[in-house]
Every structure is written in C-alpha cells, then in structure tokens.
Structure 1
Amino acid sequence: MPQVPLKTAVGAISGTSMDGIDVSLVETDGDLAVRPGPGRTYPYAPELRAELLDLLRDPAIAETDPLAGLEARVSDAHADAVLAFLRDFAIDKARVDVVGLHGQTVWHRPEKRFTRQLGDGPRMARRIGLDVVNRFRHADVAAGGEGAPFAPLYHRALAATLPQPVMVLNLGGVGNVTYIDGDTVIAFDTGPASALLDDFVLKRLGKPFDEGGRLAASGAPDAAMVARLMRHPYFDRPAPKSLDRNDFHAWAEAVQSLGDAEGAATLAAFTVASAADALRHVPRAPLRWLVTGGGRLNATFMRLLAERLGVPVDPVEAVGWNGDFIEAQCFGYLAVRSLAGLPLSLPTTTGAPKPMRGGELWKAA
C-alpha cells in the first residue's frame, strides 16, 4: 500500500483558563503517523481576557447572543497568534497545508445539542492567508454526542508504540481520560481537575492557581467531605460523558467552610478521587497513566494519583510528548483528518451514534 504523504498543520486553541492561545505544529497523515513540532503560548490582551472572563458570569447568553464583536476580537487574536508563531519559528507559510482553529469555548451544553466556540473561520482564513478548518465539535453534538473530549484519536496516534492498555489523563480545568488498548479507544470527562482548586485559591489568596500544589500539600483533606462530593450523580453516569468547567462549583460550595490549606487539600483529593473513579468505566486496569495539562505540574495531584492507582503515573514528557501543546497539536491533526473525510470522534469517545466526521473548511482565497 502506498504511503500517504504527511501534511503540515498548525493548531490553535485557548483553554478554559482563558489566559492565552496555544499554537503548535504537527506533521501527520491524519491517522497514526504524527510528528509533533514546536509550540508557543500567546497571551490574550488583558482587556480581551477580562471581557472573556466577564462572559463567564452569564455564559448561557452565548446560546442566543451572536457576540459578534467579541468573536471578531477573539478570531483576530488567534490569527495574530498563528502569524506570530510562524514568524517566531521561521516557518514558511507555503509549508502549511491547513490551520485547525478550535477557538475559545464559552458554553458547552450537549444535552441541548449546543456547543459554542468563538472563532470565525472565514475571517481568520482571510487574515492569515491560509486554509482554516473550524467547528470541530458541532456535527458530533448535533448528532447527539457529547462533543468532548476531542483529543482521543490524537492520543491513540501518539501512543501507538507504547505498551497498552495505557490511560492518558488530561488535567485541565476539567479532567478527562483516554483509554487506549489497540483499536479500543474509550474517553470521557472524569470530573473537576484544576478549575475548582484554581478558583478556590484565587478567592482565598488572590493567586491564579496553587503553584506546585504546595497549599494543598500543607493541609489535610476532609475525607468525609470528599466522600460527599463523590456522591455527585455525574459519577454514576455511564461513559462517554462530558462536563462544563463550572458544573461542580455549586456542588463543592461547602468547601468554602474550610480553612485555606484544608480546603485546597480537600479539592485536590476530590480531583484525584474523581480521576481514579474512571477505572470502573474501562475494561482493564491500565499499565500506566500519562498525565497532560497544567495539572501535571501540581506535585500534590501527581503524588496522590500514584498512591491511589498503584501503577506508574508520569507526566507525558516521560514518553517524549509536550504536555503544554498536545491540544493545539490535536486540532492541527483533526484538521487533516477533516480534510481526508475521516471521523473525528467515535461512539466510545463522545457517545455519538456512529463515527462522526466534522469540521468546516474555509479557503484562504
């Protein structure tokens, strides 16, 4: 069988922290051949980030409000980030076949068959002079899928040569896992990851996150409260399933009655318990867990996970991946899959009724 030539793609995404835009390059055939390239984060302008954070006070307006001005500014920020990335790494635009624009998620409600990512594909294609694929999640959600997580097929490609089964745990604002065992790929959101702890530390100490997990490490978790938090009905739902960043905030409000260190320790223990609970939704215990996302830098998360799981728990850098840019690379990879007409999600990763194609192509000219 002739080898499919690799395409060069650039992916761009802003995560739930809304602090900046991750941009990275990947060369891929859209299947199992992947060569990850460099990546860099480009911060949002402070006034744009403030506007995005303000939207979190009432994100449901994204269902009805076109948010035209905000979307234009977010799109231009992504376009500027991609152009800066190409300059910073001396990448000739002629090398790039496609840009995968995920954009900024502002409201995700798959039970209503609705998801909203700010990012105007045609506007960005015109501004950067490259073909753009966006709206990756929409077809999946419209068909009844969860529309998340969307990195599992990229995880499968990255992990193709690793001993399996292996679990990839992404600790972003929300936690999600990808279970990989040959052709078996299962994925779902596990529960809260960094969002609850970040917001708790911001409220108590005015800091954006618990650096290194030091505050959580200095306190003792309230075991009874962790047990109560784990009674949330989400955990009994079968996989695949997904969450919005703020779904657990009201449920965890009782943690505010605790002191700073005890509260942080309790939220860290809750994050780890919810990740470990994922084991009841997969066929076999993984041989190893690989952790990506900002939470891999939280030493308390990593220590507690290793103690709880009893198998190696390592940051993805241990196998040569770059945990800061996997998601950006993923949407470059998915853009190539979209161009090839390959599915972006599976029934076992989002609950869609069949393997779902997706993405919309916007030509530069």
Structure 2
Amino acid sequence: MDIVRTAIGLMSGTSMDGIDVALLRTDGRGFIERGPFLGVPYDGGFRERLKRGLDLARPLTDRTARPDELRDIEIELTERHVDAVTAFLDKFSLSRDEIDLLGFHGQTVLHRPDDALTIQIGDGALLAQRTGISVVYDMRANDMVHGGQGAPLVPAYHAALAGRFQKEGQTTCFVNIGGISNLTYIGAEGRIAAFDSGPGNTLIDQWVEMQTGKTYDPGGEIAGRGKVMPDIAARYLGSPFFQGNIRRSLDRGDFKPLADGEASLEDGARTLAYVAAASIVKSAGYLPESPSVYIVCGGGRLNGTIMAEFADMAGKKGSTVMSAEQAGFDGDAMEAEAWAYLAVRSLEGLPLTYPGTTGVSQPVTGGVVAEPAR
C-alpha cells in the first residue's frame, strides 16, 4: 500500500513577491487531498535584496558557489521561509509533528539551461534545523545532469490533477502565468508535454515599478487604459525563443524590460499584457494539438487584460480558457502544492521530470533530503 504523507510546499517564484505556502496530503501518485494555503508577501526592502542576488549570481559558473553577500541573502531568505512555515502552522492550528516534510523551492537567481546551470538559493539543511521538519530541496539539478532543461517541474502535479478533471476525449493545458509563463499539455491518452512559453508578469511588473513605484498592475487596470503598440509587441514576439522546434526554459532576464520613454505607462502595460497572452498562444503552436481547454493559474490569471486577450486569441483556435478556480482548483496555491507533491515523489524515488517536460533523456527523480537533528 502506498504511503500517504502530509507535506507543505514552499514556493518563491520569479515574480519575487513573496512565499506561497500550501499543504497537501498525497502518496505522490494519484491520491491528492488539498489543504490550506497562505501567501506571505515580501517587503520592498527584501525584494530589492533578491534583485541584488540576481546580479551577484550572474557571473557564477558553479551552482554551489555563494559569494559572501549572496550567502547573506540566502540565509535571510531561509529564515523568512522558517517564519512563513511557523505562521502557516499557527494560522491553521497545526503542530510540527503533523507535517512529514517540506518541499522547498528556494529562489532561482540564475537559470542557464544551455550551460546545464541552475542556481536556487535557500539552505535546505538550515530550514530543516530551524523548523524541526524534514526538507526536500534542490529538485532541479538532477534533471540537468541527465540532459534536461531543469524546468518546468510542475507538470507531474498538473498531470495528477488532470486525471481527476479531464473528460474523455478532452485535451487539457494548464497555464501558469507567473514571472515566466509555462504550459503543461495532457492529451486524451495521458501524453504529457510541457515547456516555458514566454514572459508572464515580469515585464509588466518591471515596467509598472519603473514608472510608478508600484510592484505590479492590480487586475490589469493600468493596461486596460492603454493601447497595444504593434512595433514593440512584434519585437518581443519575434524573439528567437519562439523559433525552431526545440523548446527551452527561460531565465527571468532573457526578455529585456522596456526602456524608460519607449511608451506611456498605460500603453507599455497594455502592450506587455498583449505580449504575455500572445506568447502563450504562439508557444502552444508547438503542442501536439490545440487544447480543448486552458486552465490558468498563477498571478497572471488576476490580470483581466491578459485574460481577455488570451481568451480571445485561444477562442479563435477553438479553445476555451478558464481560471483555476473555475476548474475547482486554487490558482494561487497550485505551484506550492506542486512542490509538496514533488517532495513526496522525491522521497519515493519517483520521477519528477520526463522527456516530454524538460527534454531529459529518461524519466528521472531528484532532490536532496535534509533531516533535522532529533
């Protein structure tokens, strides 16, 4: 009989806006019981520290290297995850003894798949010691050792969810619109294909912050007042990333932000929202077939301008677009839930990635386990 474990997933994504904390009871296979969710935002000062971490990581070629300042940021990031776990347990009246393990993503500060290099800061051993709970972390590296892109990892969880949702003969595509967007296609026969699809919220966030000091466009309201600037949109959508049959994973810095003065606040936000939607549809052209339905999770699903553009573009190709909530899921919690699910799979030695998701040579597991002192 498969062992059902209670796991907490911890996700800090490319938007660098905070820590998502979600509980899942699962056997790492088909049994999934979703629990509560908590979002813990970062303050502006720490977001700037994380951005500094991106700069510090840029020259690195050793994924274990932590120059002094980057190590300081890593420790602070880990301590904030300790605080997030504590807040989650307190809020939902849970004890540490009830939690079997933590799935810890950390913060990606560098991702260069062509160089088989990915760096996520976050000290799994320190997190285990400070929380008293076993931790599974560093789940991307083994995929790269075996020729994969190291991303995306969430498709294994998407496939498990689709098994509970998908109607006979239907093809489903999960879309996560985070800082970077990614797609997971599940065919009628269970075939999985997944890849990063292009810029999600990052370009919009960078633009709005540059122009207003705010960290994002709430609901897509700013974009809704602007108009698409075709030349700028064409520049982004003409990127080599969208050409050729080999899909690759993206780093936050692969698409450069708009320069100050290139557009008005509203037109820049509108154009970048259009690019976010068009990137998904353009990349979906590499899927085995056009999906029957797209299920959208991540923060981008709350941007009404992106969603309206996406629904219009997908509808012209015969596809329906719905939010994760419309499909019975929690679009905020899904990535954190995935990290809990993957942590359990890692303990069981089950594959986290597949040739159809990361381009790895064969299905492989991954992750490192850190145990607290008993």
Relative to the length of structure 2, the TM-score reads 0.92
The answer on 1:139 being equivalent to 2:142 is: yes
Query: Aligned partners of 2:231 and 2:201: how far apart in 1?
Result: 21
Runs of 4+ in 1 over 6 A off after TM superposition: none
Amino acid at match of 1:15: G
Q: Residue deviations 1:104-158, cap 9 Å, x none?
A: 1111111111111111111111111111110000111222211111100101111
Q: Secondary structure at the residue paired with 1:90?
A: coil
Cα-Cα RMSD: 1.7
The change in CA–CA distance for 1:51 and 1:227 in structure 2 (over 3 A counts) is closer
Mapped contact 1:62–1:116 kept (Cα < 8 A): no
Q: Secondary structure at the residue paired with 1:257?
A: coil
The answer on 1:201 being equivalent to 2:199 is: no
Q: Secondary structure at the residue paired with 2:295?
A: strand
Q: Secondary structure at the residue paired with 1:319?
A: coil
Amino acid at match of 2:87: A
* Paired position in structure 2 for 1:52: 50
Q: Which of 180, 185, 188 is the matching residue for 1:179?
A: 185
Q: CA deviation at 1:260?
A: 2.0
Q: CA deviation at 1:248?
A: 0.7
Query: Aligned partners of 2:346 and 2:153: how far apart in 1?
Result: 13
Q: Residue deviations 1:46-81, cap 9 Å, x none?
A: 543332122234531454551322212211211221
* Paired position in structure 2 for 1:295: 300
Taking the TM superposition and a 5 Å limit, the aligned residue runs for 1:108-147 are 108-147=111-150
Q: Which of 234, 244, 258 is the matching residue for 2:263?
A: 258
Mapped contact 1:105–1:116 kept (Cα < 8 A): yes
Query: Aligned partners of 2:244 and 2:297: how far apart in 1?
Result: 24
Q: Which runs of 5+ in 1 are unaligned?
A: none
* Paired position in structure 2 for 1:279: 284
Q: Which of 331, 353, 360 is the matching residue for 2:339?
A: 331
Q: CA deviation at 1:238?
A: 2.5
The change in CA–CA distance for 1:48 and 1:224 in structure 2 (over 3 A counts) is closer
* Paired position in structure 2 for 1:20: 18
* Paired position in structure 2 for 1:91: 94
Q: Secondary structure at the residue paired with 2:22?
A: strand
The change in CA–CA distance for 1:129 and 1:29 in structure 2 (over 3 A counts) is same
Q: CA deviation at 1:228?
A: 3.1
Q: Which of 336, 360, 365 is the matching residue for 2:368?
A: 360
Q: Which runs of 5+ in 2 are unaligned?
A: none
The change in CA–CA distance for 1:327 and 1:90 in structure 2 (over 3 A counts) is same
The change in CA–CA distance for 1:46 and 1:205 in structure 2 (over 3 A counts) is closer
Query: Aligned partners of 1:222 and 1:58: how far apart in 2?
Result: 34
Amino acid at match of 2:215: P
* Paired position in structure 2 for 1:69: 72
